[in-house]
């Protein structure tokens, strides 16, 4: 394409085009790329020129065409943003900057680099929609010339196109562009499937060519007889669309009845519904195949009536009925809005008012920008871009559009994040239903909330299908975990200061924040709770003369002079803790408390045991019985030992983990008798491992849950009384 040809294409839809600007951009880009070549061997400048030509088909404004010509100059030539601003103005400079990849990112994984580029692109799109239009045209031309790339590069680009850019074009209502991107990517990623589907489509088109013409003529004649002028066109579906439907529905090609579709374009909205009536009274309608996207448009502004009838020759005929304006938006989406017309507002401001699709995109970008890492951002973006939808309603009639297979949990988060976080149940069409139900078109969903639920279950993250819900659940889970660690850290620090006979106050700790390199006292507490900061460091930051005095929690022998235990393999004597020091220990209520608490993996701990807490970085406290042999592993790290005590509420009894080893006689019914003893004494078996020790005896390792030490000892005593039990002992690891 020559310089004059490009300007002539723009002038056809915009007689007031700024020819001087386009000429300047053309010449500048051609000189900037100079002798650069593409992988095909063509001059590199042919690429931005073709991108600009694609955008002229979308009838875009002069600034967008100029930005298309310049879009690779900052990335691939010595050109700077300052030069673009100086020569072409900050508006075009901003567009070119938004299209420039983060080529200097020092990231390890390709996924992280891809996600960061996508994040930058989407943020730029949210700021100016024209960035998206240039980027999609850029990707389309690259896909058209993909055969010149190395094989590994072709696969990566095609997959990225199918995952990100084609769905993004679909979300923006750019149907024709999305279909071409999908087919080009399909051809690269699944060449054999593409070949087979294309051959079957060609063969069927040859067989039914006369039928397509007959249906077009009959539809046109029937509508004209009723006074409705319409343009009827038939077309076959694209290979990727057919293949995806076969995959989704697990059907063969022969079972597909809607290979061909017909589009009926009329003048007015009234004629749309009149045409539908004519079609339905002429040919029988296929039940369940009518959809009204005129009264309920899709989120990408798509509007049409869809129906399927049994037409001439008993052939199923799929119809789309729309006006010319609806057709333009269906084909070109946000690009159908006349961005090149004179307007006091910026294109972004104008489009924000006119386009639901763009409003959705900006809202989505705001949510996705909160992702904690690049890979998470990429995951949520892919979730948000898939566009198969169901439409549900709130009890007040508000429409909520959701992806297919969405649940009431997704619905709750679509209404508001707080509704999702506090959701405990739902009614679907007036009937109570589980929160994991799959929603259908037209469902009325009423979410039941409770303030008692402060955070959603983390398991919901694997159930929901929307990026917004998954991000909110992950964020709430992180906050809940951080709150737990902060609560643990606060208790550790307060009791440490109390043991040192000093006064703790938040104000005192605030004054020490610079010495601890933390922004807030919650950051300090969370770091202590996670084991990232030693409590003694906090004590020294608050009181420079602080000296740590530990009361070792070790088993009491038959003596009144002190407690004895092992330290570095030697018997040592410790002070008896005073009542004040005992009060300074951390109360343990169980795994459902506000502290991140676990119990010893090899035997657990139960109320009645003397216990010690071990702080595990990033995991919270692990509670061990004081007689546990596993405590020897922590002798060299005394800073991880915590003074803890049971603080049980008798009104709400809890079960705690314990482990017993039973040596039993190997005869029928032995295991049943053991299980019966445990059940009769209200114990709960979690796990059993059996090992044949000899022909006559079997060792059973049983993990169970009991209320306290007295409860556990009663079960062991009853087991020992059984004739089939040779021995029964508690295991403490």
Report DSSP state, residue 444: B
Q: How far is it, in rounded angstroms, from Cα 91 to Cα 87?
A: 11
Catalytic (active site) residue 75:
yes
Q: Which residues pair with 609 in a beta bridge?
A: 607
Q: How far is it, in rounded angstroms, from Cα 717 to Cα 695?
A: 25
Instruction: List own/partner pairs for 221-225 with CB under 8 A and 24 or more apart.
Output: 222/278, 222/279, 222/282, 223/264, 223/266, 223/275, 223/278
Report DSSP state, residue 556: -
The residue from 5, 8, 42, 75 that is catalytic is 75
CB of 441 closer than 8 Å to CB of 408: no
Catalytic (active site) residue 549:
no
The residue from 76, 163, 444, 523 that is catalytic is 76
b/e per residue, 102-117, with b = 16+ CB within 10 A?
A: eeeeeeeeeebbbbbb
SS3 265: strand
CA 639 from centre of chain: 39
Among 494, 521, 487, 455, smallest CA distance to 594 is for 487
Q: How far is it, in rounded angstroms, from Cα 210 to Cα 464?
A: 47
Instruction: List own/partner pairs for 619-624 with CB under 8 A and 24 or more apart.
Output: 619/531, 620/484, 620/485, 620/488, 620/529, 620/530, 620/595, 620/596, 621/488, 621/586, 621/588, 621/595, 621/596, 621/597, 622/598, 623/588, 623/597, 623/598, 623/599, 624/600, 624/733
Report DSSP state, residue 462: G
| DSSP H helix total and E strand total for the chain | 29, 22
Name the token pair of 101. Answer: 């990849």
Name the token pair of 234. Answer: 């038939």
CB of 436 closer than 8 Å to CB of 469: no
Q: How far is it, in rounded angstroms, from Cα 327 to Cα 243?
A: 25
φ/ψ (deg, to 5) at 274: -65, -40
Q: How far is it, in rounded angstroms, from Cα 215 to Cα 198?
A: 23
Report DSSP state, residue 164: I
Q: Which residues pair with 391 in a beta bridge?
A: 401
Catalytic residues: 75-76
């Amino acid at each position: 394409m020559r310089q004059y040809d490009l300007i002539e294409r723009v002038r056809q839809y915009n007689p007031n085009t700024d020819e001087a600007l386009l000429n300047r951009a053309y010449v500048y880009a051609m000189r900037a790329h100079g002798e650069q070549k593409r992988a095909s061997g063509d001059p590199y400048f042919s690429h931005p020129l073709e991108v600009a030509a694609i955008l002229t088909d979308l009838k875009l404004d002069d600034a967008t065409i100029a930005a298309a010509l310049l879009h690779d100059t900052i990335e691939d030539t010595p050109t700077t943003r300052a030069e673009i601003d100086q020569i072409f103005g900050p508006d075009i400079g901003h567009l070119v900057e938004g299209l420039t990849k983060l080529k200097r990112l020092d990231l390890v994984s390709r996924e992280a680099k891809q996600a960061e580029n996508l994040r930058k692109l989407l943020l730029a799109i949210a700021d100016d929609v024209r960035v998206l239009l240039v980027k999609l045209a850029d990707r389309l031309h690259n896909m058209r010339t993909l055969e010149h790339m190395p094989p590994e590069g072709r696969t990566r680009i095609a997959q990225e196109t199918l995952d990100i850019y084609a769905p993004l074009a679909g979300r923006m209502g750019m149907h024709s562009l999305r279909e071409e991107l999908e087919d080009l990517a399909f051809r690269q990623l699944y060449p054999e499937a593409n070949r087979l589907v294309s051959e079957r489509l060609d063969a069927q088109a040859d067989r039914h060519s006369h039928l397509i013409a007959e249906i077009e003529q009959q539809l046109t004649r029937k509508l004209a007889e009723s006074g409705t002028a319409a343009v009827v066109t038939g077309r076959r579906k694209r290979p990727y669309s057919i293949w995806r439907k076969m995959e989704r529905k697990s059907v063969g090609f022969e079972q597909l009845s809607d290979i061909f579709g017909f589009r009926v374009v009329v003048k007015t909205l009234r004629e749309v519904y009149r045409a539908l009536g004519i079609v339905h009274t002429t040919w029988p309608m296929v039940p369940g195949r009518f959809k009204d996207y005129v009264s309920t448009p899709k989120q990408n502004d798509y509007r049409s009536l869809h129906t399927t009838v049994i037409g001439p020759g008993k052939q199923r005929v799929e119809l789309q009925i729309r006006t010319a304006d609806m057709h333009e938006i269906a084909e070109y989406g946000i690009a159908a809005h006349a961005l090149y017309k004179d307007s006091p507002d910026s294109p972004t401001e104008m489009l924000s008012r006119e386009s639901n699709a763009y409003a959705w995109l900006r809202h989505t970008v705001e949510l996705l920008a909160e992702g904690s890492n690049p890979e998470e951002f990429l995951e949520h973006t892919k979730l948000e871009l898939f566009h198969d939808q169901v439409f549900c309603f709130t009890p007040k009639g508000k429409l909520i559009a959701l992806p297919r297979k969405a649940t009431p949990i997704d619905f709750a988060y679509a209404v508001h994040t707080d509704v999702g976080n506090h959701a405990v149940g739902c009614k679907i069409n007036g009937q109570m239903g589980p929160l994991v139900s799959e929603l259908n078109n037209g469902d009325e969903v009423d979410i039941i909330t409770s303030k008692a639920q402060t955070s959603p279950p983390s398991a919901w993250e694997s159930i929901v299908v929307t990026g917004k819900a998954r991000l909110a659940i992950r964020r709430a889970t992180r906050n809940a975990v951080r709150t737990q660690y902060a609560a643990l850290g606060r208790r550790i620090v307060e009791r440490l200061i109390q043991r040192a006979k000093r006064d703790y106050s938040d104000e005192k700790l605030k004054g020490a924040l610079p010495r601890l390199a933390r922004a807030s006292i919650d950051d300090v507490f969370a770091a202590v709770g996670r084991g990232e900061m030693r409590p003694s460091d906090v004590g020294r930051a608050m009181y420079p003369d602080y000296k740590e005095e530990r009361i070792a929690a070790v088993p009491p022998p038959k003596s009144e002079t002190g407690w004895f235990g092992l330290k570095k393999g030697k018997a040592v004597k410790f002070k008896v803790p005073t009542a004040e020091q005992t009060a300074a220990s951390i109360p343990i209520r169980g795994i459902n408390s506000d502290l991140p608490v676990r119990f010893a993996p090899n035997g657990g701990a139960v109320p009645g045991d003397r216990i010690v807490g071990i702080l595990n970085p990033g995991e919270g406290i692990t509670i061990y019985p004081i007689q546990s042999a596993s405590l020897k592993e922590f002798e060299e790290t005394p800073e991880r030992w915590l003074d803890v005590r049971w603080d049980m509420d008798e009104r709400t009894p809890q079960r705690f983990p314990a482990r017993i080893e039973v040596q039993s006689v190997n005869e029928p019914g032995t295991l049943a008798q053991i299980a019966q003893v445990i059940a009769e004494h209200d114990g709960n078996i979690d796990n059993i491992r059996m090992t044949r020790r000899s022909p006559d005896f079997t060792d059973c390792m049983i993990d169970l849950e009991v209320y306290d030490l007295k409860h556990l000892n009663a079960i062991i005593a009853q087991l020992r009384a059984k004739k089939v039990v040779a021995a029964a002992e508690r295991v403490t690891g």
